Chains A and B, each alone.
Chain A
Amino acid sequence: MQHAWIDGGPAPFDAAIERAAQLLQASRLPLFAGLDTDVAGVRAAIALAERTGGVVDHMDSDAMLRDIAVMREAGMMVTVPSEACLRADCVLVVGDALAADPAVRERLLGSGAARQVYWLCPGRGAGQKDAAAVKRVGRDPRELPALLAALRARLAGRPIGPAPLPLKQIDALAAELRGARFGVAVWAAAQLDAVVIEMLCGLVADLNASTRFTGLPLADPAARAVIEVCGWMTGFPVRTGFNRGYPEHDPWTYDAVRLVESGESDCAVWIASTRDAAPPWQRNVPTIALVGDEEAVPQAAVRIAVGRPGRDHDAVTGYDNAGTLVAVPASAPSARPPVATVLAAIAAATNGGAWPC
């Protein structure tokens, strides 16, 4: 079975590995992006980036770093879906948060959920029918900053100016939230900006003066797992570069798209083992594509069809309901090489040999 291509043409696996190693070693600033892979895969990517003085970034970084920015600049109270679903008597969904996670949507809003749900500015999420009593408050997500600010002010008993909703409605919602026994605010950073998230987290913190309230940021569990691995290996989340010999984190400097478009990065390893996603940049850059869809990134200098975690091979990845890492056995084992195996082979083919970790 063909797993490797060089410049679009079928090639032996070892030749593709050699070519990839050559490209990386010749590169001034290699980029390891996409990072849609399992724990072993991201470990190997970080190891290789460290070896080659490269950069690691995940395709969901923009959104995930919003939550991280709010946490590390202001603080946050959070829970996990299982706890929220078990305990919440009041749920405050903010923006179109549940689009990406039908499972959580079903458990939070589905039949049998004995809780009051308020949905602020649902936008397109308004369309679906839910069994639970969902009160939609506001409509346009662009009103969220003003609406959250007004709500937070009224919770603290402060006067407000013109707001997206009448004062009475805002006060009523504030009273409902204050009356919750265990409330959960739900959001997805992909739909909001950091300032809105910070305001929401501040609102949640304020509510804890008198009752129990917490937050549930939703994100792809596999992407979350990547952040965890990067955290323990480098001390930092993704958008971290090793070009100076030590890990440095900067969301602007080490943005994959910016690095490629500016020409700073001259070689990219694009890792997309489960998602049908092409590199998000426009500029042509020599690319080593490790892809679950073997037809993806046809323009890549080196393309390798990799196994999908938990399907072609055993994997450790994120489990959303508990917000933790779990081992998933291969449901349909195949000969496709895992990302970790491919990257380890490339590392072994570079001057430094196998990474000692």
Chain B
Amino acid sequence: MLTCISGGRVIDPANGRDGIGDLWFEDGRIVPPPQGRQADARYDGRGKIVMAGGIDIHSHIAGSNVNTARLLLPEQHRAAAPRPAATPLSNAGWSTFQTGCLYAAMGFTTVVEPAVAPHYALHAHLELADIPIIDKAMLVVLGNDDFLLRLLRDREDGAAVRDYVAWVVQASRALGVKAINPGGAAAFKENVRSLSLDDVVPSYGVSSRQITKALQRAVTDLGIPHPLHVHCNNLGLAGNADTAAATIAAAEGLPLHLAHLQFYGYGTEGKRRFSSAAARLAEAVNATPHVTVDVGQVMFGQTVTISSDVLRQFNARGQGRPRKWLIFDGDANGGGVVPYQYKAEGYYGALQWAVGLELFLLIDDPWRVFFTTDHPNGAPFTSYPDILALLMDRELRAEWIARMPPAAMEMTTLPAITRCYTLNEVATMTRAAPARLLGLKDRGHLGPGAVADIAVYTEQKDVAQMFRAASLVFKDGELVVRDGDVLHYRWGKALTVRPSSDPAMMRRIAPYYADRYGVAPDLFAVPAEAIGRADPFEQVPCAA
């Protein structure tokens, strides 16, 4: 069915397009304006903004730690909405069904779950498969696993690490690799209570830096498009801007992505010895072109922190509100779920909020700073529209700042920043750049051949409302949202890479598993037939 959205403002930074015009698509793909054919379906785009569907590169939406959060906090997601006929269970709070619908309503069409332990891959993919509308992907967690740490302890060469990483990525059906406080979880099992970049995991004699570098090299050598995605050491601690800066420097010319940089944006100035170091970090990011970051913006209210940084979550458990938590010493990374409240009237919450905005506004290149709240750790993803409004509207931002504790604002540069994001920059940051970062050549843009994942917003002064309820959303060319309401379910795919691994590695892994776990490694495989949807996976090419 040939479809045309006519007369909208089409913003497609990847193709240098920003202007009034038509957008044509057919059979799930964008097509050039056809010669001598009429559209079978036409949508009036006048007064609308037309962008590619949004891509979220870091949001905790699926897997065992996310599920634990659901079970830990039933009182926070009581349902009450009446039964929706076309989209059953989309009224179930925090359910996978609701997640997909809420993202689609905002015009997002691809979301990445950033932290899945290798043995929990099947569970995560089953949850992802129950998220409607959107395409999804996951990053597999390495860096605290015994097999890798042994390779490094025994000074094995890069080839062994590379083959092992390739096997894990393939077997778990991941899109990339995540390292979370590398060495931290392993060290915590040995009663180590803090770990910085050059600290060593006692029983292996390997440092966090060594683990990070080994994974970075492997990911780069394997041609996995997405750079190693790193959750640095010392999350949340005053003065940890040093850790972030050191990690940025550790990239040493190879691509590296730092997650939720806001949580590392802290100096030690002022009487509370907790200040913003965002300006310094932004400068470091600006000066290091092969490094990318996502922000992890904080917004106010009740949320829950879900993280595989078990060491951090254990140390932070006393600050949780309400006062209950789960700490999981898993095989390798494990996890921790700690509820949390960010208070606008409190110094610390206000400062964290400001740090995130400073990072957005002081990092110059919208191709290298990514739009996240580290959902739900900084805020639920449903706050995205409000954050976009703050980035685009300086006066709104000033109103918020005026309500914050002055003592906190004084420890940041935020009040002085006048920059506003343009729609073009928003489209870059939330569409074109994520697609490029993840190696997804067929999305994040609206050029011919692209997947027809399209978000249409009604131009209005209230930017938050504009982004909260999309006027129209198309997924693979099919209309799925109208005026913020999901019309019916359809099911996306999980995007994966399959880097090649030397079969000799299996001859090492099989006996390792037999000895350590008493099972064959393929017990933890993710067979497509187990997912219960037609064609649940789509492969993304690795670089040659």
Contact = CB atoms under 8 A, between A and B. Distances in A.
B154 interface: no
Interface stretch (B116-124, B135-143, B241-249): B116-124
Nearest to B66: A232
A247 B530 contact: no
B421 interface: no
A314 B88 contact: no
A82 interface: yes
Interface in B496-525: 516-519, 523-525
Of B86, B190, B328, most A-chain CB atoms within 10 Å? B328
B89 A357 contact: yes
Contacts of A324: 64, 119-120, 122-123, 524
A219 B71 CA distance: 16
Contacts of A321: 517-519
A80 B88 contact: no
Contact of B81 (A51, A212, A228, A246): A246
B88 A357 contact: yes
A208 interface: yes
Contact of B190 (A212, A236, A325): A212
A228 B523 contact: no
Interface in A230-255: 231-237, 242, 245-249
A113 interface: no
Q: Which DSSP category, helix, strand, loop or mixed, fits chain A's interface?
A: mixed
Given A75-B325, A232-B62, A235-B77, A212 B189 contact: yes
A214 B326 CA distance: 11
Contacts of B91: 245-246
Q: Which DSSP category, helix, strand, loop or mixed, fits chain B's interface?
A: loop
B16 to A, nearest CB: 40
B117 to A, nearest CB: 8
A198 to B, nearest CB: 11
Interface in A58-104: 68, 71-80, 82-83, 86-87
B189 A87 contact: yes
B326 A71 contact: yes
Contacts of B413: none
Nearest to A204: B327
B489 A356 contact: yes
Contacts of A185: none
Interface in B79-117: 79-83, 86-89, 91-97
Nearest to B533: A357
Given A212-B188, A212-B189, A357-B88, A82 B331 contact: yes
The 4 closest A-B pairs by CB, nearest first: A245-B83, A246-B79, A327-B530, A75-B324
30 contacts: A39-B126, A50-B88, A50-B89, A72-B72, A73-B324, A75-B317, A77-B328, A77-B329, A78-B326, A78-B329, A80-B330, A182-B189, A212-B191, A212-B329, A214-B329, A228-B123, A232-B126, A233-B92, A245-B82, A245-B91, A247-B95, A316-B126, A326-B122, A326-B523, A327-B122, A327-B529, A327-B530, A356-B86, A356-B488, A357-B130
